[in-house]
Amino acid sequence: MIQTTIRHSKRYQEIINVLIKNGLSHLLYRIGLTRQTAVSMEDEDLESNHTLINLGTKLQKSLQELGPTFIKLGQIASTRRDIVPEPIAKELEKLQDDVQCFSYEQVESIFMEAFGLPPNELFVDFAMTPLATASIGQVHKAYLSTGEEVAIKIQRPNIKETMDTDLDILFHIARLIEEKTKWGKTYHILDMIEDFSTSLRNELDYLMEGRNAERIHKQFVDDETVHIPKIHWEYTANKILTMEMIHAIKVNNISRLDAEGYDRKLIAKRIANSLFSQVLDHGFFHGDPHPGNIYIMPENVISYLDFGMVGRLNDQMKYHFASLLIAVQQNSSKQMMEVFEEMELLDHVKNTNALERDIDHLLAKYYDAALSTISLGQLLIDIFSIAYRHQVDIPSDITVLAKAILTVEEVIEQLDPSFNIIGAIESFGIKIMR
Catalytic residues: 288
Q: Tell me phi and psi for residue 247, to 5 degrees.
A: -105, 110
Q: In this structure, what DSSP letter does residue 300 have?
A: G
Q: What angle do CA 299, 146, 226 make, to 5 degrees?
A: 25
d(CA 195, CA 202): 11
Question: What burial class does residue 282 get, using C-beta atoms within 10 Å of its C-beta: 0-12 exposed, 13-18 middle, 19+ buried?
Answer: middle
d(CA 82, CA 388): 9
d(CA 312, CA 295): 23
Cα–Cα distances (Å) from 302 to 199, 212, 260, 268, in that order, read: 25, 17, 16, 10
Helix (H, G, I), strand (E, B) or coil at 149: strand
Contact 59, 52 (CB under 8 A): no
Contact 181, 31 (CB under 8 A): yes
Is the torsion defined by CA of 293, 299, 300, 301 positive or negative?
Answer: negative
